[in-house]
Structure 1
Amino acid sequence: MLGRMTTRDPQAAQLARLAGLIADETRAACLLALLDGRAWTAGELARHAGVAASTLSEHLGKLVGGGLLTEERQGRHRFVRLADPRVAQLLEDLAAQVVPETPARPRSLREAGAGSAMARGRTCYDHLAGRLGIAVTDALTAKGLLRQDTGFALTDSGLVWFDSAGIRLDRTGRRPLARACLDWTERRPHLAGVAGAALCRHALDARWCVRIGSERAVKVTDSGERALFELLGVEPGALR
């Protein structure tokens, strides 16, 4: 007896292709590296992933073809970055689910230092994360500028605060103004979305924070400590 014919859901095939793109350790390493929000050259990603340039090129072709990355060429260099914030959000959410409760012990002092710096403060695609991101998010909430009780949302006072601080919020796109992003080291949500991206960009442009090393880690400067204390009441000790 013949079974009944079924109609395949086209989304199932799309989901399977997406999962297949991510389900490779080299491609996953590249995607996680690109969560720093910057464009990387193919050579930089090859060194980061520990593979030959020819091997990496094949992987990048699949990621670009699958819509997860965009690329541009400048001279002989090929630069790639995450396609858009939706891809970053997907990666952040997935990464937060797979971090073990008991992290692996670092293999060297250098690795331990890098891990400590990332936990202290880092960029999560285009917003602040780690203890820095949580401290800023908590301060915004404590001052009544951000609500977390019914999902993340800026209050009217929060909108005024961003404007008065000279932090422009682009409200013309479809991206949420405020969104909760689960922090994979703190296991609590930090601020993402348009507001999180604008605050991070301002913090870097004003040199409240500076990038350190080749990873996503950032360090709060002395002027950044003063600014965050004056504007939000963040105690310097919470940033170290």
Structure 2
Amino acid sequence: MIDHPTGNMIAQSAHLMGDPARASMLAALIGGDVLTAGELASQAGITPQTASGHLAKLLDGRLVVAERQGRHRYFRLASAAVAQALEGLMALSPPPPAFPARRHGPRDAAMRQARTCYDHMAGRLAVDLTAALQQRGFLHRSDGVGVVSDAGHRFFCDFGIDLAPTSRSTRPLCRLCLDWSERRPHLAGQIGAALLARTLALGWVVRTPNSRTLTITPAGARGFSDMMGRAVDGRNG
């Protein structure tokens, strides 16, 4: 029998994500949150004892990592790659029966407009911004990977984002991640994370407590409008 290590690895990760309770716990962490086992059990609708068994499997599969602080043990996704895999699976999944057939992603209009996907932006704002940067020649797609042009390097530098390579990170500079609700790509990788951090620092977007939703502020509506060359509605939804 021929061994297929790559296929086995894919099957193992798919099996871990494929259980409904584990999938619910992973989905609760996709916004970059850190949660306790009890909180994840509540999200999945299972007992704390059952959640502990599932979390042990996710830890072994390197889909989550745990860190202890005081008396509590907190869990988070192991990497941005796990979040991107989950987002891709969400994009491939059919909507629940209660959804209109043509509509995908979250029901909440504000979350569809702008939200976090691990450490970068997702939703309509993020895909429109990515499309605008491509149209302006700041980045383009090559073999599924985002490539930043010379003009793009100048643009991001002027915007306050340092694109100088560092030896500490092996993460791709620019990735294009399929958006769950919009079914178009948004920016991920180092640039995606830096863009979210920079817009948060500028007050263009603010996090919504206990949610992945990002609220676009009036300053953000003006800033994104200038960046994209078209009006951006600051009213989420």
TM interval, short-chain normalised: 0.7 to 0.9
Give the % identical residues.
44
Q: Corresponding residue for 2:154?
A: 160
Deviates more, 1:132-141 or 1:164-173: 164-173
- Runs ≥4 residues deviating over 4 A: none
Deviates more, 1:38-47 or 1:119-128: 38-47
Query: Alignment partner of 2:66: what SS?
Result: strand
Q: Corresponding residue for 1:144?
A: 137
Q: Corresponding residue for 2:117?
A: 124
CA distance in 1, matches of 2:124, 2:196: 14
Displacement of 1:236 in angstroms is 2.3
Q: Corresponding residue for 1:38?
A: 33
CA distance in 1, matches of 2:8, 2:54: 20
Judging by fraction of residues, say which structure has more helix.
1
Q: Corresponding residue for 1:21?
A: 16
Displacement of 1:150 in angstroms is 6.2
CA distance in 2, matches of 1:16, 1:236: 42
- The reply to whether residue 87 of structure 1 matches residue 87 of structure 2 is no
Map 1:40-55; keep pairs closer than 5 Å.
40-55=35-50
User: Which residues of structure 2 form unaligned runs of 5+?
Assistant: 100-105
Given the two structures, how large is their TM-score scaled by the length of structure 2?
Answer: 0.85
What's the Cα RMSD here?
2.4
Cα distance 1:169–1:50, how it changes in 2: closer, same or farther (>3 A)?
A: farther
CA distance in 2, matches of 1:157, 1:143: 9
Q: Corresponding residue for 1:181?
A: 177
Q: Corresponding residue for 1:105?
A: 98
Q: Which has the greater radius of gyration?
A: 1
User: Which residues of structure 1 form unaligned runs of 5+?
Assistant: 1-5, 107-112
Residue type matched to 1:97 in 2? Answer: L
Q: Corresponding residue for 1:109?
A: none
- The reply to whether residue 195 of structure 1 matches residue 191 of structure 2 is yes
